[in-house]
Amino acid sequence: MGAPAFEKVLGIIPNGTKIANIEKLLTQCKLYAALYGDTDANGKLIAEFITTAEDANLARVDFVDAETDLVVHQGNGSGGIHSSDDAQTDLFAV
């Protein structure tokens, strides 16, 4: 992704030009993609940025490789307030 496309990404994301942290920008892009999808030109550009940024991050770290299992672990309920199978609405129960 070149500089012009990156500048467009910054323009799509609210306050994108003010975000100095690449991880925060990547998070904001993922939220945008989750909310708006990738069917229009903006969504496709955001999806391309996400892929490019994640690939660049993986290329620069030495603790994650193609063999690393990145699956989120399921909780068994013994270590936290709620077990992983609690409904999200239980979080707001009084």
Do residues 20 and 48 lie in contact, with contact meaning Cβ atoms separated by under 8 Å?
Answer: no
Helix (H, G, I), strand (E, B) or coil at 38: coil
Question: Given this model, what pLDDT does residue 46 score?
Answer: 96
Instruction: Name the band, by pLDDT with cuts 50, 70 and 90, for residue 94.
Output: very low
Q: How is the chain split into domains, by residue range?
A: 3-60
Q: Which residue has the tokens 């955001």?
A: 46
Q: Which segment of 11-15, 61-65, 80-84 scores lowest on mean pLDDT?
A: 80-84
